[in-house]
Amino acid sequence: MRLLRSVFVSAFALTTLSVSVAQTVSETNPAPWKANPELVAKKQQSRNNQFNYVEANVPDYQLPDPLVASNGAKVADAQTWYQQRRPELMELFRTQVYGRRPSTPYKTQAKVVQTRDNVFGLGASGAQYTLTIETENGSHSFDFVLFVPQSKQPVPVVVQMNNRKFISLDEADKQPDGFWSVKRILEAGFATAAFHTSDVDPDRKDGYEQGIRALLDDPDSDEDSRWKALSAWGWGASRVLDHLETMPAIDAKRSAIVGHSRGGKSALWTAAEDTRFAIAYSNNSGCGGAALSRRAYGETVKRITSSFPHWFCNRFANFSDRESELPVDQHQLIALVAPRSVYVTSSDQDLWADPKGEYTSLINAAPVFKLLGLQAIEPSEMPALDAPRHQGATGYHVRSGAHNLTEQDWVSFLKFAKSRFKQER
């Protein structure tokens, strides 16, 4: 009996030990993120569902290689990338997805309309500007707000394309909002500027005449490849950066462009077009942003171009239900930001934006970063929920919660940005 009891106790102890070890391993190496089965089932069973949320139903696809030129030649060195392949991809995105920015001459003028001192009690300064664009066809103005931390040296700057509403100088100081986490950004040692995208170009189908495109468009240009709102918002961000470059307190060479959702789509394209931005941060950008179009998971090309025809150039709609025929995909957009840095964020409940498609896009851009001598995220398995993964020039996390830009997102992004900008603060 004693022997049996001893064996039983030993076995129990071993079992307990193995469970303890398993728990420790699970805690230190949490499982890669996967879509919540209950959420998937709920979305699939919704009465009006016409979209796929089941991973097993993602169509087979082959991604176009960012390092194979249009003539079939392998891109084996940085010179070929910069002189041949990158221009090819830029042209394809301009003519097939986002449209071409016009070359109409313009002048800009920035006027200070309000200032504040000692913002948040941090010794930071704040100012609201009106930026006016003047052309032969007339003028267009929009406001942006800028906060600069107290510093003896020029500081990096985060430019946010706010697609929700304009946040005035007083509002940002007195009614803090995690969507634009001004205090946290200042505490990290960064300046930050923000403008409302619709003030540059209205975010509606009938907003053309009230936006910057009406002043700058060339009527003789190819109508099907003309730029639309996503590209126009990025043009506005570039004009803000123009002004920031004139300010001694700002180190504009260490600038980041940040956008959420439709703003995240625009942020990636903005960084591709304007190589002055050192980091592109795309948050929950989904279809037409960081997510691969060929996966057709959640929002699709057909859905986005029919619901928001004012975002992309006309030709993008031609690939509705024909994503496999696209000459590009979004991993190549991310690759166009190289050798600068890219940070992508997904949300656990935001299956519409296809978190796996966003992560898969990011890792398929890695070969370009590596070609240019940089490290980048490569593992095919996604990181665990709320476990940011940073590797060299790229970073990623999938956050608990819904479609949003939150304080938690800012914490992870700012940590990444500080490492890229070598910030000690």
Structure tokens at 122: 């941090």
Catalytic residue among 255, 261, 361, 412: 261
User: Cα–Cα distance between 284 and 354 in angstroms, integer?
Assistant: 9
Catalytic residue among 125, 151, 238, 403: 403
Count CA atoms within 13 Å of residue 66 on its CB side: 29
Structure tokens at 389: 């993964």
- Residue 261 annotated among the catalytic residues of the structure: yes
Catalytic residues: 261, 403
